[in-house]
């Protein structure tokens, strides 16, 4: 997905949301939101009373204008609630439209069983078909590279301009339909049928077409319905109580009170908050397979992290040289640089660069006739054979010891101590030998990414435990864990052990998140409560996870957890604000209803509203306008900072609880000052 996504509410989104607001007025659609559905019923009842004020009682004939005003405000309230949801949906659909533009009409070079090629429409491809994709051509559908290696431009999906290498075998063999091959040629086996590609799934997800309510949403919805039923019972009992007190309560007034007391604010914003949560994750270039996955992130207790590429950069770079006893350091540095002159790996280049910084500068042309020995998985060494017959090798401790012993050389007594010391530092020891003599150890350091320690400290403040799983030895794992601020580590970890770690945490009642990209990570991703697969990874990993990171950045799990926390906090904060609003509305409407028959009720009119009718209308207007005013908070989310849960609760109660009580007092009084002159003109 392009990073140039919809970052604001455009005029086009607003126009579409306005139209959708009226479409959602259909009771068959609105019944899915019970609170706002009650408001719609109130609108229809007051509309009937506006047309025929005496339909239910004979003494309400003079309330036609009042009923009409109430009916109009209730209509606007429903429209505002629909508008909030439509804006959130509109942003998702705008993202989907941008994705649809990347889906072009593509042809495919289908490889037939007899070895011939036939050009067909990509939409005709079936799962299992084999296609040839040449330089400059679009990959017709999702699949796996089964032959060849090529650079693939995935910018249409990820927004990243740098091509990625895709090759047969391993964890980087999956390709996505709609991406372009920029070099070489690959043979791809199609893994999905037409309409089931990763891009198609992304479009469906960001459109929200298949979005289902999450468990927390369902629970909160149940609470809101419960509150609505309670207030409905209260309002129904008010009518006979009023008659007993000698007060006739018009039906429109009772409806106004019901609408003001039920949690219409959060009822109108609840769906928008959920959609916006998924939208924020999508804009972060992470595709969430469901709203539940985003929400679960907010409740995560444990994060499982890989070391290489997640906590550390992954490229081991030369940091220092440790010669064995009797070898001058300059001489060791010189031979280290010679062995790496033609070594194009990050390790080799870093050795040459560090040598230059330490004053050892070599002319490459002096070694043109030397034979470079590339690294071999069998020998676990690399190096160079000089023109004078010298053989220089660098590699693991065991492989270099073997190389020296084969030439009847001796092993320095202090070599193992140097290797052990480097391992304790969290580095990789690379032993250097010239012919049958060991010169020393090159210290390769896998550097912890800057700022990670602070971020893990923030994660810890949320009450989340971090566990690093790595294939490194215990000494290296311990050092890296300390440097990064990881709570716990598992060294020499196998894929099976990752699953065991997840199950162990889940057995303690914890929710677990993890990242992965390989086929061997798929079982663990499926086992975790939140599994984030890298887009560069295998199809198996992406299918097992419930989130896919399009940027293939394993550290993004930290941000995703924060987005999940923000979603839950936003919902809680606006729920608190909505319920706290009722206090002010109570002081506005209850005195207005009974003040004529019970003058003592004037003491409850602490806002000194001008008249009973203006009080009811002002409270109802405030109840309606507060919904669109809170839409930006629902979409953007409440600002989140890692802190203790109790402190966070008190802070939100202080801001949104107290604010929810104070704001309506100010708002209703202000609206009263505006509407009073108009009501006077109407003779009310």
Q: Band the pLDDT of 288: cuts 50, 70, 90.
A: confident
Distances (CA, A) of 641 to 562, 563, 631, 645: 9, 11, 21, 11
The string of DSSP letters for 508-547 reads TT--EEEEE-SGGGHHHHHHSSEEEEETTS-HHHHHH-SE
Strands 117-121 and 107-111: antiparallel
- Give a yes or no: residue 168 inside a domain: no
Query: Which residues are identified as catalytic?
Result: 306
Does one domain contain both 304 and 271?
A: no
Return the HEC string of 354-370.
HHHHCCCCCCHHHHCCC
pLDDT at 209: 43
Which segments are annotated as binding site? 343, 347, 375-382, 394, 517, 521
Instruction: Give residue 2's pLDDT.
Output: 38
* Average pLDDT of the residues in 260-280: 81
Share of the chain above pLDDT 70, in %: 87
The answer to whether residue 586 is domain-embedded is yes
Distance, in Å, from the CA atom of 664 to the CA atom of 670, rounded to the nearest integer, reads 9
407 plus 479 within the same structural domain: no
Domain boundary among 430, 447, 464: 447
- Of the three residues 423, 447, 471, the one that is the final residue of a domain is 447
Q: How big is the chain by its Cα radius of gyration, in Å?
A: 34
**342 and 329 within one domain:** yes
Q: Residues forming the annotated binding site for ATP?
A: 343, 347, 375-382, 394
Q: The whole model's pTM is what?
A: 0.64
User: What helix, strand, coil percent values describe the chain, rounded to 5?
Assistant: 55, 15, 30
Q: Is 623 exposed, middle or buried (0-12, 13-18, 19+ CB in 10 A)?
A: buried
Query: Which pLDDT band holds residue 1 (cuts at 50, 70, 90)?
Result: very low
Angle (deg, nearest 10), helices 658-681 and 612-636 = 130
CA 438 vs CA 318, 321, 325, 391, 412: distances in Å: 18, 13, 10, 12, 7
Question: Do 346 and 477 have their domain in common?
Answer: no
Longest dimension (CA), the chain: 117
Q: Please give the average per-residue pLDDT across 356-380, as a whole number.
A: 84
Q: Domain check: are 255 and 371 in the same one?
A: no
Q: How many CA atoms lie within 13 A of 374 on its CB side?
A: 4
Q: Alpha-carbon distance 171 to 244, whole Å? A: 78
Calculate mean pLDDT across residues 610-633.
88
427 forms beta bridges with 445
Report angle CA 390, 394, 396 to the nearest 5 degrees.
145
Let me know if residue 102 belongs to a domain: no
pLDDT of residue 364: 82
For residue 253, pLDDT over 80 is answered with yes
- Are 276 and 401 part of one and the same domain? no
Find out whether 204 and 569 touch, Cβ atoms under 8 Å.
Answer: no
Number of neighbours of residue 65 by Cβ within 10 angstroms: 15
49-52 contacts, C-beta under 8 A, 24 or more apart: 49/251, 49/252
Whether residues 435 and 532 share a domain: the answer is: no
Same-domain pairing of 411 and 442: yes
Residue 30 is part of which domain span?
A: 11-95+206-281+575-682
Same domain, 68 and 212: yes
How much is the pLDDT for 4?
Answer: 39
Angle between helices 556-594 and 452-461 (to 10 degrees): 40
Q: Report the domain count for the chain.
A: 3
Which residue has tokens 């550390």? 312
Say whether both 344 and 426 belong to one domain. yes
Q: Specify if 678 maps to a domain.
A: yes
| pLDDT at site 160 | 52
pLDDT higher than threshold 70 for residue 617: yes
Binding-site residue numbers for Mg(2+) are 517, 521
Last residue of a domain, one of 447, 468, 496: 447
Q: Tell me, what's the pLDDT at 633?
A: 87
pLDDT digits 0-9 by tens, 402-439: 999 988 899 999 999 999 888 877 678 999 999 999 99
Q: Rounded to whole angstroms, how far apart are CA atoms 95 and 100?
A: 9
Res. 325 pLDDT band, cuts 50 70 90: very high
If asked whether residues 80 and 211 sit together in one domain, one would say: yes
Highest mean pLDDT: which range of 264-273, 467-476, 552-561, 572-581: 572-581
How far, in Å, CA of 486 to CA of 455, rounded? 10
Q: What is the DSSP letter of 122?
A: G
Q: Is the pLDDT of residue 301 over 80?
A: yes
| Cβ atoms of residues 177 and 142 within 8 Å | yes
Domain check: are 589 and 617 in the same one?
yes
For the cut 50, the answer to whether the pLDDT of residue 6 exceeds it is no
- With respect to residue 517, please indicate whether it lies within any of the assigned structural domains: yes
Cβ neighbours for 259, distance < 8 A, ≥ 6 positions apart: 38, 39, 42, 74, 77, 620, 623
The residue assigned the tokens 């926390």 is: 565
CA 668/CA 671 separation, integer angstroms: 5
Range name among 104-113, 120-129, 661-670 with the lowest pLDDT average: 104-113
Average pLDDT over every residue of 59-87: 84
Contact 189, 146 (CB under 8 A): yes
The pLDDT of residue 79: 92
């Amino acid at each position: 997905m392009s990073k140039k996504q919809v970052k604001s509410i455009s005029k086009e989104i607003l126009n579409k949301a306005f139209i959708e607001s009226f479409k959602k007025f259909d009771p068959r659609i609105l019944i899915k939101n019970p609170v706002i559905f009650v408001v719609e019923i109130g609108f229809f009842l007051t509309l009937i009373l506006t047309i025929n004020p005496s339909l239910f009682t004979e003494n309400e004939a003079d309330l036609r204008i009042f009923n009409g005003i109430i009916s109009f405000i209730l209509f606007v309230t429903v429209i505002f609630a629909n508008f909030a949801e439509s804006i959130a949906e509109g942003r998702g659909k705008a993202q989907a439209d941008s994705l649809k533009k990347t889906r072009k009409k593509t042809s495919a070079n289908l490889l037939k069983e007899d070895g011939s090629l036939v050009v067909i429409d990509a939409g005709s491809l079936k799962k299992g078909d084999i296609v040839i994709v040449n330089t400059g051509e679009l990959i017709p559908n999702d699949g796996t590279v089964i032959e060849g290696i090529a650079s693939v431009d995935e910018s249409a999906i990820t927004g990243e301009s740098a091509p990625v290498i895709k090759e047969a075998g391993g964890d980087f063999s999956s390709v996505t339909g709609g991406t372009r091959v920029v070099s070489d040629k690959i043979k791809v086996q199609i893994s999905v049928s037409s309409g089931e590609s990763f891009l198609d799934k992304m479009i469906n997800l960001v459109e929200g077409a298949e979005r289902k309510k999450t468990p927390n949403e369902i629970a909160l919805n149940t609470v809101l319905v419960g509150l609505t039923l309670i207030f409905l019972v209260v309002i129904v009992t008010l009518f006979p109580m009023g008659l007993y007190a000698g007060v006739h309560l018009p039906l429109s007034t009772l409806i106004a009170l019901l609408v003001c007391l039920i949690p219409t604010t959060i009822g109108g914003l609840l769906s928008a908050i959920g959609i916006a949560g998924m939208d924020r994750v999508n804009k972060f270039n992470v595709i969430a397979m469901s709203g539940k996955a985003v929400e679960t992130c907010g409740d995560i207790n444990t994060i499982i992290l890989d070391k290489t590429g997640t906590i550390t950069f992954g490229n081991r770079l030369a940091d220092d040289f440790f010669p064995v006893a009797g070898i001058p350091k300059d001489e060791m540095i010189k031979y280290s640089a010679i062995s790496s002159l033609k070594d194009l790996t990050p390790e080799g280049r870093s050795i040459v660069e560090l040598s230059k910084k330490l004053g050892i500068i070599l002319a490459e042309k002096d070694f043109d006739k030397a034979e470079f020995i590339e690294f071999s998985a069998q020998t676990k060494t690399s190096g160079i054979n000089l023109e004078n017959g010298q053989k220089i090798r660098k590699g693991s401790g065991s492989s270099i010891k073997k190389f020296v012993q084969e030439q009847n050389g001796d092993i320095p007594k202090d070599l193992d101590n140097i290797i052990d010391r480097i391992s304790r530092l969290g580095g990789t020891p690379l032993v250097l030998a010239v012919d049958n003599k060991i010169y020393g150890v090159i210290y390769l350091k896998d550097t912890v990414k800057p700022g990670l320690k602070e971020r893990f400290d923030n994660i810890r403040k949320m009450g989340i435990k971090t566990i690093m799983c790595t294939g490194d030895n215990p000494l290296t794992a311990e050092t890296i864990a300390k440097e990064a601020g990881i709570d716990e580590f598992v060294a020499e970890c196998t894929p099976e052990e990752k699953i065991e770690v997840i199950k162990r945490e889940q057995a303690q009642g914890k929710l677990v998140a993890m990242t992965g990209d390989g086929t061997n990570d798929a079982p663990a991703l499926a086992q975790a409560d939140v599994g984030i697969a890298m887009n560069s990874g295998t199809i198996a990993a992406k299918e097992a996870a419930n989130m896919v990171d399009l940027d293939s950045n394993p550290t993004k799990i930290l941000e995703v957890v924060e987005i999940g926390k923000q979603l839950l906090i936003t919902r809680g904060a606006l729920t608190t604000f909505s319920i706290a609003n009722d206090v002010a509305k109570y002081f506005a409407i209850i005195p207005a209803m009974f003040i004529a028959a019970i003058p003592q009720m004037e003491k409850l009119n602490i806002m000194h509203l001008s008249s009973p009718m203006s009080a009811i209308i002002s409270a109802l207007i405030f109840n309606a306008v507060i919904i669109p005013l809170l839409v930006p908070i629902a979409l953007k989310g409440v600002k989140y900072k890692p802190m203790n849960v109790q402190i966070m609760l008190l802070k939100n109660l202080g801001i949104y609880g107290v604010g929810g009580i104070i704001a309506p007092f100010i708002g209703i009084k202000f609206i009263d000052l505006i509407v009073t002159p108009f009501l006077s003109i109407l003779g009310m």
